[in-house]
């Protein structure tokens, strides 16, 4: 289980867990409607399927960060980080 943070600390390119699946935050927006409770709208890419979804959280919610290890991919011209090479770190 990863670290939990307040939804208001979310940032682009952060890796989160949602419904047991790892996602990368593509974009987010804090919304404060004139009536009702504030919320955060998150656009996130599923790291397993590649699908992009929109997730809405209440401003009081907390989210779980995904535990991932980053691997570098070497190319003839440069060394780049491949988003397809993120792997889940097993927890003991």
Give Dmax (Cα) for the chain: 55
Sorted by sequence, the CB contacts under 8 Å of residue 47 that are 6+ apart come out as 15, 21, 22, 23, 24, 66, 83, 86
CATH label, 4-66, candidates 3.20.20.70, 3.10.20.30, 2.30.30.30, 3.40.630.30? 2.30.30.30
CA distance 14 to 26: 8
Q: If you average pLDDT over every residue of the chain, what do you get?
A: 80
Q: Where are the domains of the chain?
A: 4-66
- Whether this prediction's pTM lies above 0.85 is answered by no
Q: How confident is the model at residue 85 (pLDDT cuts 50, 70, 90)?
A: very low
The mean per-residue pLDDT over the stretch 66-91 comes to 54
Taking the alpha carbons at both ends of the chain, their separation in whole angstroms is: 10
């Amino acid at each position: 289980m990863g670290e939990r943070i307040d939804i208001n600390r979310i940032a682009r390119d952060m890796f989160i867990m949602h419904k047991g699946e790892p996602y990368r935050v593509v974009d987010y927006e804090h919304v404060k409607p004139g009536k009702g409770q504030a919320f955060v709208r998150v656009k996130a890419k599923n790291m397993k399927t590649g699908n992009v979804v929109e997730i809405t959280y209440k401003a009081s919610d907390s989210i779980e960060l995904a535990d991932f290890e980053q691997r570098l991919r070497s190319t003839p011209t440069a060394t780049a980080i491949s988003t397809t090479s993120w792997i889940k770190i097993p927890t003991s």
